[in-house]
Chains A and B, each alone.
Chain A
Amino acid sequence: MSDIPYKDKGSILRPLKALSFFARKPVTEPFEPRPAADSYRGFHVNDWEKCIGCSTCQKVCDNAAITMVRIPGLPEDPVLGIRNERPAIDYGRCCWCGLCVDICPTGSISLTTEYVHICREDELDSYFILPDPNGMHGEHFSKGWDKTEDADLVDLQQQPMGEVEAEQRIDNFDEMINGFTSQQAIIEASRCVQCGMCHDSCPTHMNAPEYIRAIWEGNAEEAVRQIYRTNPFSHVCGRVCTRRCETACSIGRRGDPVAIRWLKRYAMDAVSDERTREIAAEDKVDYVSGKKIAIIGAGPAGLTAAFDLVKKGHEVTVFEALDKPGGMTRYGIPEYRLPYDRLDADVEVITSLGVTIRYNTRIGRDVSMADLEREHDAVVVAIGLQEGRSTRIPGSDHKQVKKAVSLLRKITQGKTFDVPRTAVVIGGGNVAMDIARSLARLQKQQYGEVGMTVAALEDFDHFLADPEEITESREEGILILDSRGPKQVIVDKGKLTGLVTLGVISIFDEDGRFAPRYEERDEQIHPAEMVIESIGQMTDVSLFGDELTERLEWNRGRLKVDENGHTSEAWLWSAGDMVFGPDVVHAVADGHRVAASIEAYFTSVEVSQ
């Protein structure tokens, strides 16, 4: 029973109680809008400087109130992951739930304390607005519902990647990254907001959102299918890609980007090689075109072009000077980063489609360019940058001064050489790290200790090698010195004993040209039995022969090509590192571009006939 005295009949005086209400304030709402609470969910504002146009707000909006609008004049850079699109809000649909704020990867969009909008009949469009930092009416209301740590729905943390400990990995060339487990891969894939920045920034425009989605759905085969739409070097790129996608990833704005490279690796490892070959062959045409194509160089660019062209029914032959395929991915990248059997798996997919690779065949020596021109409808030169550049400092002509790429090739080929007890690498890029870490492993195997020094021009804030390469190298006992420029190689009685370096003042001059300036008094001597130069690569174009070299057009010593890699000769294309500089995924993209150009050329020839 309740305690309400409702059975009380009251008294005749009770109405007098009402008199007490004369003294009370009436409940009256003011005419002016009341200031809203601090976290009020009113009209939107959007910081255009922070916003990257990733459209995640649009995806989470449960009323389809958000439309991405292209705004000419705003910065647009696929490499940095910025689009010139900004969200526009239809307040006829918006329900002010604030999910757009909570999921925004950049934290640019917020709701404000502004909540009054009045329009006349002819201003119905004024409910559809493009929020900017000034708010709906430009009146600078304070922010209401804003990004907070509690409310953030973006998962900023990457799944940790397991790695072999430094002590276990230093004396062998076994792969050091463990790869994701299926559970980790699904969790990592679920972090993706499907903005597609990765796709835009990738040189070969891999369908990363699609294969990440497929991994999240537990469908690794579909992921492989999506991967093979654009990249036949998927095992390779799953391990050693320079991953511009992750730089552009919108999650990376405030946290760790989605580990797109490791996800690709996971998908490739999860599907058997045999099934991968079947998937890759799905869109091969079932007719023979009768066209013959020669490709020089079995590296990523050449083999990607071969992959595309063989699927179109052409007969493709690849000529390779060495005895194994892969080019720089095999002879330049150490096995602890890219196991050879994974590279072989990638190449087998391509050969299984019908591409013939002729090994140990050097063009210009075993076969001439003229023969190729005569016997084929098109020829692609994709020979890469196989020669190392020299510093040309005094003493650099000593036989114990080596080029990084040549030495790496030697290690891969299994050729024996005298492993130095101490060595200095000149250079600070990933190749410098590769040779330093490879030699360190050999030193550990032979002498039980590491004696490697890396001397780079750049300081650590502008280092060229990946940060994890530096960390891992240090773990393996390699000394890395920044801002050191080589002065001379010390040769004592014909024996190399060390390298002299100077402190770097600046690397580039006012015009941005490479012109390092050194502090002469800051001199250091690094004792060493070997000096390795790792300052860049160049190509060897002697295969063309004098007559063809004369016919071709050149641009400052580089072969002149159009944007599709087509040279001034109608039958000749050029692709890969020798055009764009060293990078696997660029080479793959270039292979596609050249293949498409050749295909278009064949079509145009047929049409004109």
Chain B
Amino acid sequence: MRPENYQARNQPPSNEFELNFGPNHPGIEGNYAFRVKLNGDEVLSARADAGYLHRGFEKLMEGRLWIQNIALVPRICVPDPVPMEVCYSLAVEELCGLEVPERAQWIRVMQLEMSRLAAHLFAFGGHAATTGMYTPMFWGVADRDLILDRFEELTGGRVYSIYNIPGGVRREVPDGFLERLGSLLDYLESRLPDYDNLFFTNQVFIKRARDVGTITQEQALKWGVTGPNLRATGLEFDVRRDDPYLVYDQIEFDIPTEPGGDALSRNLVRRSELKQSIRILRQVIDRLPSIQGSIRCPIPNPLAWNVPAGESYARVESSKGELAYYVVSTGGDKPYRVHVRGPSSMHAVQVLENLAVGCRLEDIAQIMFSLDACPPEVDR
């Protein structure tokens, strides 16, 4: 194509035009992009483009040993990696019939809730940034970093902990870890009023977020909305309670809901879940020392590990919604097929494309962050 061959597109005069929204837009996560049709600043339609961040996880897994995948799966969702490891492990354990020791199950719950805290801090910080408020973002990220410090101490890695393997967890909890986690929880709890003052009860935010991207409960169920986004439509559903895994049935926690179904409600649900996660973690800190025993059941040599043929489906409640792994084995040393049911693929594609219609251009980023969609999880 030479410049002299360029021709202006012959269009009838109209207020309608198309806009590539992202992938460089600061309000859009990473690589994610939209092709938006606008009339003025009103969105007429939006097409999602998942981009080329981390693609082909599911296919990659077919070429790797069962154990090698534990280093791959956390990458599917950077802000909330632990549920990926745990869910993959649960699926493989189901195929192998492995009994995970109770202590390992408590340690997994501990990590899952730490990860949920970190992810929610990240999410509200992101949402704040899309509404023009940068201080909550700095606070959220700085406080998340303190959780990452504890992850580093527990697992040796700050973001990708790669700590769960089929059969249990890889290492014993370090001495004094629970005390340090406890004081971190005290600190985070003391920060909640600050967050409220700064953000959640801030009228600027409330006015920006109220009645934006509203989903009715009926739509939510139809579109496959899960997690905090579903609970923000008033439906009390949580995999941790309704299909308990690990030791969640021994833990007390509430399931916060909001009636609004809009961006505001979704954030408020997450804000309430911060408190619930802290509550769960305190119970873990109380119980874990009394649960002795090993942290992993014996597993075969990872280089010669044939997982019995069959299929399994394991689901957990991640910070973004219902996360599930469907794993098929033909009895070999590698998975035959792994499918990841990531909550974000629903939230960031069909839900967002629907919600964007009729909203204003500047709200697209806000809606996406209020749905807490994670791009690499969309296109695995």
Contact = CB atoms under 8 A, between A and B. Distances in A.
Given A96-B157, A155-B301, A4 B268 contact: yes
B162 interface: yes
Contacts of A8: 201
Interface stretch (B23-31, B86-94, B125-133, B302-310): B302-310
Contacts of A10: 201, 203
A5 B160 contact: no
Contacts, number: 122
Interface residues of B, number: 50
Contacts of A145: 156
Interface string B180-212: 000000000000000011001101001000000
Contact of B71 (A38, A99, A144): A99
Contact of A95 (B71, B302, B305): B71
A41 B157 contact: yes
B172 interface: yes
Contacts of A111: 156
A153 B201 contact: no
B301 A39 contact: no
A240 B146 CA distance: 61
Interface string B157-172: 1001010000000111
B100 to A, nearest CB: 14
Query: Size class of A's contact patch?
Result: 35 or more
Contact of B142 (A27, A40, A187, A213): A27
Contacts of A99: 67-68, 71, 302
A1 B153 contact: no
Contacts of B153: 37-39
A189 B156 contact: no
Dominant secondary structure of chain A at its interface with chain B:
loop
A5 B162 CA distance: 39
Contact of A148 (B64, B72, B171, B196): B171
B317 to A, nearest CB: 18
Contacts of B302: 60, 99, 103, 153
Contacts of B156: 37, 39-41, 98, 111, 144-145
A192 B171 contact: no
B258 interface: yes
A111 B162 CA distance: 14
Contacts of A192: 301, 304
A2 interface: yes
B171 A4 contact: no
A423 B69 CA distance: 63
A190 B300 CA distance: 7
A103 B303 contact: yes
Given A38-B174, A102-B170, A103-B303, A6 B152 contact: no
A216 B306 CA distance: 9
Interface string A172-216: 000000000000000101111110000000000000000001001
Nearest to B60: A62
A341 interface: no
A560 to B, nearest CB: 47
A6 B270 CA distance: 14
A190 B271 contact: no
Nearest to B259: A1
A1 B258 contact: yes
B272 interface: yes
A59 B71 contact: no
B295 interface: yes
A501 interface: no
Contact of B172 (A6, A9, A150, A155): A150
Given A6-B206, A155-B298, 18 more contacts: A1-B258, A4-B196, A4-B268, A14-B197, A38-B174, A39-B156, A41-B157, A41-B162, A60-B68, A62-B72, A95-B160, A150-B295, A150-B296, A153-B302, A155-B301, A189-B304, A190-B301, A190-B305
9 contacts: A2-B272, A27-B142, A40-B157, A97-B162, A98-B170, A99-B67, A153-B302, A155-B300, A192-B301
Interface of A: 1-6, 8-10, 14, 17, 27, 36-41, 56, 59-60, 62-63, 95-99, 102-103, 111, 144-145, 148, 150-151, 153-155, 187, 189-194, 213, 216
Interface of B: 64-65, 67-72, 138-139, 142, 149, 152-153, 155-157, 160, 162, 170-172, 174, 196-197, 200-201, 203, 206, 256-259, 264, 268-269, 271-272, 294-296, 298-306
